[in-house]
Amino acid sequence: MTGAQALLESLKKEGVTDFFGYPGGQVLPIYDALYNEKGLNHILTRHEQGAAHAADGYARVSGKVGVCLATSGPGATNLITGIATAYMDSIPIVAITGQVPTTLLGRDSFQEADVTGITQPITKHNYLVKEAADIPRVIKEAFHIARTGRPGPVVVDIAKDAQVNKLDFKYPDKVDLPGYKPTFKGHPRQIKAAAKMISLSKKPLLYIGGGIISAGASAELKEFAEKLNIPITTTMMGLGAFPSNHPLALNMLGMHGTAYANYAVQECDLLLAVGARFDDRVTGHLPTFAPKAKHIHIDVDPAEIGKNVRVDIPIVGDAAQTLKDLLEKIKPEKSKHDAWLAQINEWKKKYPLSYKKDGQLKPQYIIEMINEVTKGDAIICTEVGQHQMWAAQFCQFKNPRTWVSSGGLGTMGYGFPASIGAQVARPDKVVFNIAGDGSIQMNIQELATAVINKLPIKIAVLNNCFLGMVRQWQELIYDRHYSHTNLCANPDLVKIAEAYGAVGIRITKGAEVKKALQESLKVKDRPVLLDFVVTREENVLPFVPPGQALNQMIID
Amino acid sequence: MSRRDRGGEKGKAMKHTISVIVENKPGVLHRVAGLFSRRGFNIESLTVGETEDPKISRMTIVADGDEQTLEQIIKQLYKQIDILKVFDLPKSESVERELALIKVHANEKTRGEITQIVEICQAKIVDVTEEALMIEISAETEKVENLHKMLEKFGIQELVRTGRIALHKGNQN
């Protein structure tokens, strides 16, 4: 069999059923092998960036490794934003790129780019494959590396002659990677010390992130928190890991977190971080972050521990396993943290998330209505900006893998192609992409992909004719200098949707919101773009200005 | 630990010798060098060569940083799939060497004095011309630097250093 055929066989061995790609000169042998391939569903996007984000959205929703394919040179460089997005959020994808034949490598050949060189800082690992015979082993390793330990993207760059040359196909049973041994079980001594520290704490707080979701540790987390009566605050990446309406849930902390979560961080005497990485959007001014607390940090990646914050007890291990081990070592005491929880409830009552209801169409209201009509069961994807923060604040989550948003890299244009991946992975689910008018225009060409594949994605554009988050900073920090954030020449998004064969609906009044959302849910065979013309200068609050302590929030 | 330094304020910077055992694969030097530059770690010197096993290479990196930086460097290096082992080599527990070739101006009047310095420093003269001497020294970094300083007044034409290599003393590896 040829290298290209071996690649497809290897993908099937890894359990791949769907993948996303875009053809070109140096992947022609792979596309030729796909021509008669029945076991793999290839989805043609309209831009390679769309393919990378779709693979990422697919991975976040399904828990499987997402796969994308692109040609050499510009095809590969168009994947870069998507690979970097996946890298920053620890999402397992395998990105396969064609490369010029080995005889032309290093000669600035047509559509040649040093893909392994370019992707080295944004991948967990990468490969340049020059021999057909290496393809099965490399694919096996790539999937293993992508999905184990701290997950992340792996790039496999395959020279065209390796795709064409013949090999005897034998898929390896196991990988041989002496330099790669992720730690699964936390050190017993550290667990014992942590258990003691938790037992002694009067005001403990769980601070959890995307690691809970990638480890599939939601059930363990819930049991841990409920048995020990410990409140939980969640990073943006951790949304969905713990039910939003749970009495112990403080929801999101950080720059646009809830006031009660941020106050709890600043008051707690023990911060138990699990699968979170003390990102600057979470901590604000580092030296004043959680100033009264001892720190326990559980993470599968040892390099995360001590990177930003010094911790008292580090535990390297899988989140689910470690929470289970830790819970075994602690004797639960009923009503133990009642005073602490009462204090938190007081903050919850005093500083709930809110917005001014002044008769105008408010973006927060639209999110509340999306939540109402979907009963919190939808998969919510977002782009990046104000709409993303409102979605993070006002969406109610019940389950993990229902929130798909670019956290670390903050990639505008991510949400819509990611929602395509999400809908392909979960055809049974209602998928919303909550967008801004700036972001949606960054990958709007993927409407064609959604239409041709009959994907009933609901695109809710909170259209304020501004790059809203930048405008907000300009208003609050740059003296209202709205430098290049006014998008007054926006196209008619309803007409764009219709031109692609999707449904377009414009909503200008609060009274129309619910009905339009219900209408959109009835459409099952194509995407619906809901163009919500919202009030223009709404701010996301609370807001911790950059470099400030978390309790120095602007609340209203 | 005081609360104040929780946020990672800089501790005392020190030079560290780090040994990195890597699989001898293409791109591995790029991975290591790229890691140092993008994470803002300073490399003072980096040497690389095959070990007793031709599939495995050993890099010796001299880097600047406080204890926390050193810990991050080692952890980040470990994350690289092609890196098998990383360890800090404290001066007291290891033998360190660096090789330097120094070409220095020399004439009838100065040649004798230079030869004396070379002898005291346990260096070697490896090439002689009418106007210059080439000197080889293999020693600890400080001794190489000392010889360099001693020779400066004669006028140094060219100088090349290999960077430090080091091995643990005794049975450790």
A507 and A376 in a common domain: yes
A194 and A160 in a common domain: no
Amino acid at B9: E
User: CA-CA-CA-CA torsion for B152, B157, B162, B164, nearest 10 degrees?
Assistant: 10
CATH code, A101: 3.40.50.970
Helices (H) and strands (E) in chain B, counts: 4, 9
Q: Do A120 and B31 touch (CB under 8 A)?
A: yes
pLDDT at B2: 37
A397 and A272 in a common domain: no
A223 and A278 in a common domain: yes
pLDDT at A415: 98
Quickly list H helices, A335-414. 338-350, 363-374, 386-394
The radius of gyration computed from the CA coordinates of chain A, to the nearest angstrom, equals: 24
Question: Does residue B135 register a pLDDT over 90?
Answer: yes
pLDDT at B13: 81
Amino acid at B118: V
Q: Which of A504-508, B66-70, B77-81, B94-98 has the lowest mean pLDDT?
A: B66-70
Query: At the fourth CATH level, which superfamily is domain B94-168?
Result: ACT-like. Chain A, domain 2 (3.30.70.1150)
A131–chain B nearest CA distance, Å? 14
pLDDT at A141: 98
pLDDT at B26: 87
CA distance B34 to B83: 14
- Mutation choice for B interface testing from A87, A88, A120, A137 by most B CBs within 10 A: A120
Task: Just list the catalytic residues of A.
Answer: 48, 110-111, 160, 469
Give A87-102 as a DSSP string: HHTT--EEEEEEE--G
**Partner-chain residue, chosen from B3, B76, B81, that has the shortest CB–CB distance to A180:** B81
- Judged by a CB distance cut-off of 8 A, whether residue A106 touches chain B is no
Q: Is residue A130 part of a domain?
A: yes
Using the structure block, give the residue that is written with the tokens 């643990």: B168
CA distance A3 to A9: 10
- Judged by a CB distance cut-off of 8 A, whether residue A307 touches chain B is yes
> Residue B4 — very low, low, confident or very high, per pLDDT cuts 50/70/90?
very low
Nearest CA in chain B to A295: B6
A240–chain B nearest CA distance, Å? 28
Using the structure block, give the residue that is written with the tokens 């992130």: A209
Let me know if B78 is exposed, middle or buried by CB neighbors in 10 A (0-12, 13-18, 19+): middle
* Average pLDDT of adjacent 10-residue blocks, chain A of 556 residues: 98 98 98 97 98 98 98 98 98 98 97 97 98 98 98 98 98 96 95 97 98 98 97 98 98 97 98 97 94 98 94 97 97 89 97 94 98 96 98 97 98 98 98 98 98 98 98 96 95 98 98 98 98 97 93 90
Q: Is residue A313 part of a domain?
A: yes
**Partner-chain residue, chosen from A117, A288, A303, that has the shortest CB–CB distance to B79:** A303
A452 and A307 in a common domain: no
A539–chain B nearest CA distance, Å? 30
Q: Do B78 and A124 touch (CB under 8 A)?
A: no
- Judged by a CB distance cut-off of 8 A, whether residue A179 touches chain B is yes
Assigned CATH class of B3-88: alpha beta
Residue A480 backbone class (left: φ over 0; alpha: ψ -120 to 50; beta: rest) = left
CA distance A138 to A67: 14
Q: Is residue A546 part of a domain?
A: no
User: Is the separation of the CB atoms in A186 and A322 below 8 Å?
Assistant: yes
CB < 8 Å from B in window 252-291 of A: 285-289, 291
CA distance A309 to B5: 9
pLDDT at B14: 87
CA distance B34 to B43: 11
B70–chain A nearest CA distance, Å? 11
Kindly report the CA angle at A281 between A391 and A301, in degrees rounded to 5? 105
For strands A93-99 and A154-159, give the pairing. parallel
CA distance A126 to A142: 8
Segment (H or E) for A44: strand A41-44
Q: Do B5 and A289 touch (CB under 8 A)?
A: no
pLDDT at B173: 56
Q: E-assigned strands of A310-436?
A: 313-316, 379-382, 403-404, 431-436
For strands B165-168 and A154-159, give the pairing. unpaired
CA distance A71 to A77: 9
Q: Is residue A501 part of a domain?
A: yes
A369 and A261 in a common domain: no
Amino acid at A547: G
CA distance A315 to B52: 35
Is residue A188 reached through a cis peptide bond, with omega within 30 degrees of 0 on the bond before it? no
User: Residue A336 is encoded by which pair of tokens?
Assistant: 């133990």
A36 and A130 in a common domain: yes
Q: What is the ipTM of this complex?
A: 0.89
A99 and A223 in a common domain: no
Give A149-169 as a DSSP string: SS---EEEEEEHHHHHSB---
Q: Do A286 and B4 touch (CB under 8 A)?
A: no
**Any idea where the domains of chain B sit in the sequence?**
3-88, 94-168
- Count CB pairs under 8 A between chains A and B: 63
Tens of pLDDT, residues B25-55: 989 999 999 999 988 888 999 999 999 999 9
Q: List residues in chain B touching A: CB distance below 8 A.
A: 1, 3-9, 22-23, 26-27, 30-31, 34, 38, 68, 71-72, 75-76, 78-84
pLDDT at A336: 86
pLDDT at B6: 53
CA distance B27 to A338: 56
Contacts of A143 (CB under 8 A, 6+ apart): A14, A65, A94, A154
Nearest CA in chain B to A151: B79
Count of the separate structural domains present in chain A: 3
When pLDDT is averaged across residues B127-147 and rounded to a whole number, the result is 96
CATH code, A225: 3.40.50.1220
Q: Is residue A388 part of a domain?
A: yes
A142 and A32 in a common domain: yes
A381 and A345 in a common domain: no
- Are both B3-88 and B94-168 of the same fold? yes
Helices A510-522, A363-374: inter-axial angle, 10-degree rounding: 40
> Residue B1 — very low, low, confident or very high, per pLDDT cuts 50/70/90?
very low
Which residues on neighbouring strands pair with residue A127, listed in sequence order? A156
Q: Do A179 and B71 touch (CB under 8 A)?
A: no
Q: Do A291 and B3 touch (CB under 8 A)?
A: yes
Length of chain A: 556
User: Residue A66 is encoded by which pair of tokens?
Assistant: 């997402």
* Helix, strand or coil, per DSSP, at residue B171: coil
pTM for the full predicted model:
0.95
**Domain membership of residue A45 as a residue range:** 3-164
B91–chain A nearest CA distance, Å? 25
A487 and A369 in a common domain: yes
CA distance A341 to A355: 25
Kindly report the CA angle at A492 between A487 and A493, in degrees rounded to 5? 95
Q: Is residue A183 part of a domain?
A: no
- Mutation choice for B interface testing from A310, A313, A316 by most B CBs within 10 A: A310
CA distance A169 to A38: 19
Cα separation values, A380 from A241, A449, A464, A466, Å: 14, 19, 20, 22
A306 and A199 in a common domain: yes
CA distance A411 to A383: 7
